[in-house]
C-alpha cells in the first residue's frame, strides 16, 4: 500500500467490539472461530487487542456474529465526533491494495436525507433544533467550515468529517470563499 493510507484502527476498539458481540450472541471463542472459519488462536489474539486483523477476517466474524462489519470497527462515540481527512478507523485488505475507513454506521430503521451545501464567508447559518433523535453528518469538500452545536462548533477543512446531534441548536459558518460540504441528516 502507499504511504497515503490512513492509520490503522486501534486494536482495542476491535477487541472490545468482538467481546461485546460474542457475549451478546452467547458464543464461546471456539464456536465463533469455527463459524467464522478462522483459528481460535487468531480470535483470541484479536480479543486481547493484538494481532493484525484484515477486512476479510473481520467480515467473516461479523457474518458469524450476525452483525454488520461496522459493528466491529466503529469507534466509541461522544456527542461530537470529528474524523479528519486521512484519519479514522481504517482496516486494510490482505488480498488487494484496498483500505476501508468507516465514517458512520447506519442504525436499524434510520432515515437519511443527503444535501450538498455551498456557503460563503459572512454570517453563520444558525439552525434551530430538528425533530428529536436527528443526527447530522457532514464532510467538507472545499474551503473551510466551522460547524456544530452551539458552544461545540469545530473548524473543518477539505475531507474532514463531523457528526453531532441535530436536535439541538447548531450552526454552519463558511471561513473561506467557495466552501462546499455534504450533509447527511439522519432521522431515527
Which residue is it, cell 439541538?
Answer: 168
When pLDDT is cut at 50, 70 and 90, the band that residue 94 belongs to is confident
pLDDT for the residue numbered 1: 40
- Which of 12, 33, 17, 28 is CA-nearest to residue 72? 17
In this structure, the number of other CB atoms found within 10 A of the CB of residue 102 comes to: 17
Which residue in 42, 45, 21 sits closest to 33, CA to CA?
Answer: 42
| Interval 16-44 mean pLDDT | 93
Q: What is the pLDDT of residue 168?
A: 93
pTM score of the predicted model: 0.55
d(CA 53, CA 141): 31
pLDDT in tens, 121-175: 888 888 888 888 889 999 999 999 999 999 999 999 999 999 999 999 999 899 9
Largest CA distance in the chain: 60
Are β-strands 161-165 and 135-142 bridged in parallel, bridged antiparallel, or unpaired?
antiparallel
For 105-115, how does the pLDDT look when each residue is reduced to its tens digit (9 = 90+)? Answer: 666 677 887 88
Amino acid at each position: 500500500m502507499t504511504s497515503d493510507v490512513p492509520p490503522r484502527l486501534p486494536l482495542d476498539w476491535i477487541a472490545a467490539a468482538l467481546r461485546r458481540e460474542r457475549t451478546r450472541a452467547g458464543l464461546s471463542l471456539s464456536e465463533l472461530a469455527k463459524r467464522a472459519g478462522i483459528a481460535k488462536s487468531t480470535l483470541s489474539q484479536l480479543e486481547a487487542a493484538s494481532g493484525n486483523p484484515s477486512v476479510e477476517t473481520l467480515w467473516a466474524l461479523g457474518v458469524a456474529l450476525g452483525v454488520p462489519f461496522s459493528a466491529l470497527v466503529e469507534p466509541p462515540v461522544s456527542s461530537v465526533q470529528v474524523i479528519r481527512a486521512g484519519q479514522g478507523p481504517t482496516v486494510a485488505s490482505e488480498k488487494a491494495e484496498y483500505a476501508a475507513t468507516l465514517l458512520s454506521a447506519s442504525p436499524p430503521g434510520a432515515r437519511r436525507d443527503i444535501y450538498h451545501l455551498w456557503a460563503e464567508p459572512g454570517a453563520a447559518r444558525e439552525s434551530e433544533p430538528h425533530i428529536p433523535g436527528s443526527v447530522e453528518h457532514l464532510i467538507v469538500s472545499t474551503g473551510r467550515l466551522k460547524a456544530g452545536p452551539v458552544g461545540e462548533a469545530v473548524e473543518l477543512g477539505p475531507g474532514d468529517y463531523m457528526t453531532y446531534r441535530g436536535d439541538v441548536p447548531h450552526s454552519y459558518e463558511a471561513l473561506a470563499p467557495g466552501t462546499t460540504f455534504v450533509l447527511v441528516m439522519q432521522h431515527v
